[in-house]
Each structure stands twice: as structure tokens, then as C-alpha cells.
Amino acid sequence: MPASLLYAVVFIEGFCSLGAEILALRQIVPHMGSSIVVTAPTIGFFLLALALGYHSGSRIERDYVGAVARNFLLAALLVGTGLSGVAIDRLFVWLTPPELAYLTLVGAIVCPVAWLLGQTVPIVTNLLEHGRAGEASGRALYYSTLGSFLGSLSLSLLVMQWLGVSAAVALCALLLVAGYLMLRRMVWPAILASTASLLLTLGANAWLRPEIETAYASYLVVPVDFDASINGRALKNNDSLASLIDDSEPPRYARYIEHIRRLLIDELRFRDRRILVLGAGGFTLSHREFANHYTYVDIDPAIRSIAERQFLGESARGDFVADDARRFVVRSDQRFAAAVVDVYGAQFSIPAHLVTREFWQATRRVLDADGLLIANLVLDSALASPYSRNLLATIESVYGRCAVEVLQKRQVLANVVVTCRNGAPPEPARIFVDERNTADLDLARSR
């Protein structure tokens, strides 16, 4: 078999093995988030399966071409169907808790793909004619790693951005089928097997959940009834409720959005003020609000056009910046009268780098001297969990005492709106005790 053909097969293996890992990480986001406790085990299990694949491939002693061909076809089926959006959605619906579905996905799809494709390099090395074993393996690893490099860039920066996640899934499956046909020399059984694999892939990714997919999230607009709404609809972001609106006059919005609008417009009487919104959602905070100027920051460049076409039915008010929230507040030279932090990425999960003290400190630099920070959090309504207590303590370590309002007190999980004033760093708090009660002195200092 020509060396160029074998190198092409190894290139496809590298492209699709890392591509499968990237696709798995992206498809998990709507259900498990993107925190390090999810991504690190996924990568770790993938690498373990890849190592086991290397070992298994080194032990194969005959039918080298047939072994690689079979592995490519099986991997194409697993990637094309098992990593499709509809399959993963069903998996997380059928298996609860979500941790069980996650382990099933990793164990039944991600690891087998890595194990199958990991066998390619040690097997193909047997077919390469070189004077030294090191030369053969080095060349094979070069083309495999080159494929991984190009696959990671092209899938994440090109295919997912322009065509969507489903197209990236289908592309990986198509390349694996192409590698299978290259090895099987286009005989009729191989053509039939390839056709069946491609039909299953196209079916799984064309018969898609109705979401609009981008490289960052999956969006879906669904009808919903809330607070006596008229033709209410919800924008879901990564399977999490992001925004509500209806056709009433004036329109109704999500409760926390109406709460923040009343605070800014009615209570604080903001007029002609600059307001920063980190996390665009459905752009409802500025919907038909002409008194102030809004700047939205969201990591997904497509979210504005999606919200305008599918959710609002009209142009969104305000400027839009496609950027990571933390990077924006660190680099921006603009100053705002208020910054609204509404950065949920999936379910009830805020990206981990947007809850640290360093992030909250960075938000102060984009606020006016007396500016207002408003954060929408989804916490347990009793504010008793470790996450709730620690997150609130982290914010107040930067801003001092903040107003904390639980909007749905009868629910287990509730929107919690935290409002803080920018200003001088707070002095340490002291406890009033009978022995040294400074309450009267502190009261006088506070007037």
C-alpha cells in the first residue's frame, strides 16, 4: 500500500480522535457545564483510552489493513450517531442523575472512539517501509499529531462557528468513512457499509433537536405560560431558561429582569446613564427601554441575531460586544453607572472564572465611583448551601455589605439579586458584645 495513503489514514485518525474529544466536551456543556471538574475527567478518560488503544494496536500481528478499516468504520458510527445532539439529549433525559448519563457517555462513546483510533499508529507502522523503526513511528506520529492540530483548529474556529456543531460531527464521521474506503479499496461490501454509516450519521444530525447551534451554545425558543402572559415564549440557552417575553402591552419579562428594571428606572430613576450587561440572554433588560444606553457583552457572536430573529421579533436595543465577560471588564476603558452580571452558561452553572474575587474586583474598574453592581444568581432560597454562602461572601469581600433579595422564597432554587455599591474598600466588621458594645458609637459614625 502506498506510503502516502497510509499517511493520509494516520492524518484522518489524528484529526478525528481529537475532534471527537472536542465534540464531546462541547456536547456536554448544556447538561453538565464547562467547569474544570467536568472537562478534566473527560480529557483524562480520553487519554487513558487512547493509551490502551496504543497498547492494543501494538499487539496485533496480522491483517493490519483490515483491523484499521474495521476500527474506522466503528468509530464513524460512534461519532456520527453517539455524539449527535439528539442522542446526547436523549441520554441525559433517560439517565438520571446527570452524572450517570455523563459517565455513560464517556464510557460508551468517548473512550471506545479513543481506543479504536488509538490503535491506528502502531498498526500502520508495521506497513511503512523504512530502514529504522524510529523513522517509521516518527513519521506516523508526525502526521497523526498534525491531523490533531488541524482538527482542533478547524473544527472549533471554522466548522462550528460557520456551520454548527452537527456539521462538525458529520465531518468527523465522513472523514472516518473516507479512511475506511481508502483501506478497503472501494469494493461493494465496503461501499454498502459506508453508505449505511453515512445514512445513520445524516439521520442523527439532520433529524436534530430544534435548537439553533453555535460553537458556544444551543438555543431554543419555546412557548411558555407565565404570570398570565399573552403568547409567552422562552429563550433557552444550553437547555437553561435564559429569557422570557410575551405580547402584552407592556410586555412581561422574567421576574428578575422586571425586578432589575424597576430598580434602575423607577427606584434609582436612571436617565441617560450607561449600563453594562454581562451575559446578553434575550436582550430583554433594554427591550423598549429608551431612557438609558445599554452595552451587552456575550461570548457568543451569534446571540444577538438569534435573539432578534427568533425571540424578540425586532431589533435589540443597545450596543453588543462579542467577548468574554472577564476579559472585557479587565481591558475596557469605558465606565458605567451600573453593571448587571447575568452570566449563566448552562443549567444553574456560572463559568468558574466568573465567580472568583479577582473577577468581582475587575468589575469595579468599569463602574463609576458610585456605580452599582447588580448580579443575578440562582441559589438555594435559604442561602444555606456552601456554594451560596461562599459566593455571597466572595462578592462582599470586594464590595462590602450588599443587598441580597431572594425572589422566589417558596422554591428550592430561586433567583437571588445581589446589589452592591462601588466605593472605598469596606473596613472589617466588628461584632457587638456586652463587654465592649460599640453600637452607639458606630451609629453616630454612620449618620
Cα–Cα distance between 39 and 68 in angstroms, integer? Answer: 29
- Rounded to the nearest angstrom, the gap between the alpha carbon of residue 109 and the centroid of all alpha carbons in its chain is 20
- In the numeric block, which cell numbers belong to residue 323? 467577548
pLDDT interval class at 93 (50, 70, 90): confident
Of 132, 133, 141, nearest in space to 10 by CA:
141
Contact 15, 9 (CB under 8 A): no
pLDDT interval class at 210 (50, 70, 90): low
pLDDT in tens, 170-206: 899 999 998 988 888 766 566 777 777 777 777 666 6
Mean pLDDT over residues 129-145, rounded?
A: 82
248-256 CB contacts, 8 Å cutoff, 24+ apart: 250/288, 251/287, 251/288, 252/226, 252/227, 253/284, 253/287, 254/284, 254/415, 255/227, 255/407, 255/408, 255/415, 256/376, 256/407, 256/415, 256/417
* DSSP H or E segment with residue 218: strand 218-223
Residue with grid cell 488541524, as numbered in its chain: 150
pLDDT in tens, 273-321: 999 999 998 999 999 999 999 999 999 999 999 999 999 999 999 999 9
Helices 36-58 + 111-118 axis angle, to 10 = 30
pLDDT interval class at 211 (50, 70, 90): low
CATH 3.40.50.150 range(s) for the chain read 218-421
pLDDT interval class at 346 (50, 70, 90): low
Residue that wins the pLDDT comparison between 162 and 361: 361
Q: Is 196 helix (H, G, I), strand (E, B) or coil?
A: helix
Question: CATH assignment of 218-421?
Answer: 3.40.50.150
* DSSP H or E segment with residue 399: helix 386-399
DSSP designation for 215: S
Question: CATH assignment of 3-209?
Answer: 1.20.1250
pLDDT in tens, 5-63: 999 999 999 999 999 999 999 888 878 877 788 899 999 999 999 999 999 999 998 89
**Do the strands 218-223 and 319-322 form a parallel or antiparallel pair, or are they unpaired?**
unpaired
pLDDT interval class at 271 (50, 70, 90): very high
Q: Minimum mean pLDDT among 210-219, 351-360, 404-413: which range? A: 210-219
Helices 3-32 + 98-105 axis angle, to 10 = 180
CATH 1.20.1250 range(s) for the chain read 3-209
pLDDT in tens, 380-423: 999 999 999 999 999 999 999 999 999 999 999 899 999 999 98
- In the numeric block, which cell numbers belong to residue 328? 472585557
Q: Is 404 helix (H, G, I), strand (E, B) or coil?
A: strand
3-state DSSP helix/strand/coil percent for the chain, to nearest 5? 55, 15, 30
Span between the terminal Cα atoms of the chain, in Å? 88
Q: State yes or no: cis peptide before 250, omega within 30 of 0.
A: yes
